[in-house]
Chain A
């Protein structure tokens, strides 16, 4: 690893850790300051009950997402997207689209930087839109919920994933075949609502299936190349 690489990684993790810690302190300060300024007493037992329920679900999802997204988003993309949220519907597609436009291979050093830049640009734009939305929600809502546009917004995710996943699958049909068949089988077996509800829990399983199947293909390809090399030498 050269000096420039090491400097970048040190700066990246320093910025990621410090900015995340600052954000966590700022977030936790919100209910603390509210309690202090408004002089409101919180019913600790009921709040704790609700917290345990929510944490047992979101805590596990957070841990799974931590391990699942890092290899795809890169460290910079992960620090950023875990702060601004909306990963599956905004940050991940923005990163993948950016990598596609730039034309670098996923997992390369360049793609990691492009992913981070895409997520940063997306985060700034989304924050701005939500701010404008908050100010003018009364004006926007009739348009967004109009019967004419309602089907389009209800089906944003299928449209987004259709546009995002199709070129990836077509480019590498052999690798995509087994994970796609597995996803179809699981959906047919337990139904779409259950898949949607447990998507975060199913994610590591599908990552293992995809990597496992890709490994099988890699081995087959290597042994074929080896065999042809041996035949050539004979």
Chain B
């Protein structure tokens, strides 16, 4: 293995290079948050509601972020610390990044992620491919989102069926994402997790309504997700 590439991949210089886009991502989120809060004021959305939404979103994000750390750990021995950190913090996802890196390594005639023959040149190629292949969505946002959004707004404001179609889109998306997991008999623990989480959220929402304790309803989603995950631990130890 070309030792230079790993020392390069874990160098302070690379840390500083990747730090810039990560800082931009955080600044962007803060700017959007500010814009959202000021528009919420114009729309008379109560401050306590906004506070609840922000706390809930932040707390919910903790658990699903943890598997990203596992992907980070898987990619680190091959790509060093900083490139996986960048790619998983900005635009990327665990699946896309692993696949893009694997495809590049294979195009150099190596066996894929984990191959010991990676050189500094291959490493930079991986960074090029990981970066460029994933830019379609944001690029379309720059050139087309304004006009697409305008169209969507005019459809909604025209009333009638099209005004309620967003709810249907929502259901369509969740049905494709959720139902296959629910009937995937090859992974019974997944079914247990989905059913437990689904039943829990209904029970917690019902309890919130019955007792009038809104806090239960506000945290029913993250709590149910954790209960669903916990049920797999119980099932593994019982079965």
Contacts and interface: CB of A to CB of B under 8 A. Distances in A.
Given A8-B42, A130-B72, A187-B183, A179 B30 contact: no
Contacts of B68: 86, 126, 129-130, 133
Contact of B128 (A47, A96, A118): A47
B22 to A, nearest CB: 7
A210 B29 contact: no
A23 B201 contact: no
A38 B20 contact: no
B159 to A, nearest CB: 12
Given A34-B127, A71-B169, A154 B189 contact: yes
Contacts of A186: 180
Interface string A153-178: 11111111111111111101001100
A38 to B, nearest CB: 6
Contacts of A35: 124
Contacts of A34: 8, 14, 17, 124, 127
Interface string B151-168: 011001000010111111
Given A116-B36, A152-B229, A159-B194, A20 B132 contact: no
A109 B60 contact: no
A83 B64 contact: no
Interface in B79-100: 81-82, 84-86, 88-93, 96, 99-100
Contact of A12 (B30, B35, B171, B229): B35
A71 B152 contact: yes
A160 B197 contact: yes
A52 to B, nearest CB: 9
Contact of B61 (A58, A79, A125, A141): A125
A165 to B, nearest CB: 4
A140 B69 contact: yes
Given A38-B8, A145-B70, A19 B190 contact: no
Contacts of B40: 110, 113-114, 117
Contacts of B1: none
Category for how many chain A residues contact B: 35 or more
Interface string A57-97: 11101110111101110011011101111111110111011
Contact of B45 (A58, A110, A209): A110
Interface residues of B, number: 153
Contact of A162 (B107, B128, B146, B194): B194
Give the residue among A8, A15, A35, A85 with the most B Cβ atoms within 10 A. Answer: A85
Contact of B125 (A46, A133, A140): A46
A117 B53 contact: yes
A210 B175 contact: yes
Interface in A113-153: 113-114, 116-127, 129-131, 133-134, 137, 140-141, 144-145, 148-149, 151-153
Given A107-B164, A107-B167, A159-B196, A176 B175 contact: yes
A102 interface: yes
Contact of A180 (B32, B92, B179, B198): B179
Given A97-B56, A116-B36, A123-B25, A42 B128 contact: yes
A229 interface: no
Contacts of B171: 168-169, 172, 175-176, 179, 210, 214
B114 interface: no
Contact of B169 (A42, A72, A98): A72
